[in-house]
């Protein structure tokens, strides 16, 4: 399995609170991605990174921000969580951005 660790694996929080999810990789891959998975929608890209401090928006980026200060870590932040952001969040990595993406096991986030 690709060396991807997502933390926390589960989190319950309240509307309006800030939340940060972490994706840590040991593969030294250049590209990292954050997706959310919701029933009936498959996975949708939130943000991705193509290098340290280099990030770009995906399909559903509103309400989310990301940071990548080190190759191995990609953080996803919900500045003020809303119930619509209740979802399962997956991190993925890719060597070059043209190679297949490998996914972590996800973070289940519930916002009450």
Partner 1 sequence: QQQVKQSPQSLIVQKGGISIINCAYENTAFDYFPWYQQFPGKGPALLIAIRPDVSEKKEGRFTISFNKSAKQFSLHIMDSQPGDSATYFCAASIEGSARQLTFGSGTQLTVLP
> Which parts of this chain interact with partner 1 (CB under 8 A)?
4, 31, 33, 35, 40-45, 48, 50, 56, 58-59, 90, 92, 94, 97-106
Whole-Å CA distances, 109 to 10, 21, 38, 47: 6, 9, 11, 17
- Select 78 or 89, whichever has its Cβ closest to partner 1: 89
* Least CB distance to partner 1 at residue 42 (A): 3
- Report the candidate in 84, 95, 34, 86 with the shortest Cα–Cα distance to residue 59: 34
Q: How many CB atoms lie within 10 A of CB 76?
A: 23
* Least CB distance to partner 1 at residue 40 (A): 5
- Select 15 or 41, whichever has its Cβ closest to partner 1: 41
- Select 31 or 74, whichever has its Cβ closest to partner 1: 31
Q: What is the DSSP letter of 8?
A: -
């Amino acid at each position: 399995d690709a060396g991807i660790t997502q933390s926390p694996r589960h989190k319950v929080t309240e509307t309006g609170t800030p939340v940060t999810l972490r994706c840590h990789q040991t593969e030294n891959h250049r590209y990292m991605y954050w997706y959310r998975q919701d029933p009936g929608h498959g996975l949708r890209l939130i943000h991705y990174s193509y290098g340290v401090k280099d990030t770009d928006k995906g399909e559903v980026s509103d309400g989310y921000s990301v940071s990548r200060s080190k190759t191995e870590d990609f953080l996803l932040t919900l500045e003020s969580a809303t119930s619509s952001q209740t979802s399962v969040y997956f991190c993925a990595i890719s060597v070059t951005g043209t190679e297949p993406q490998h996914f972590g096991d996800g973070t289940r986030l519930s916002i009450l």
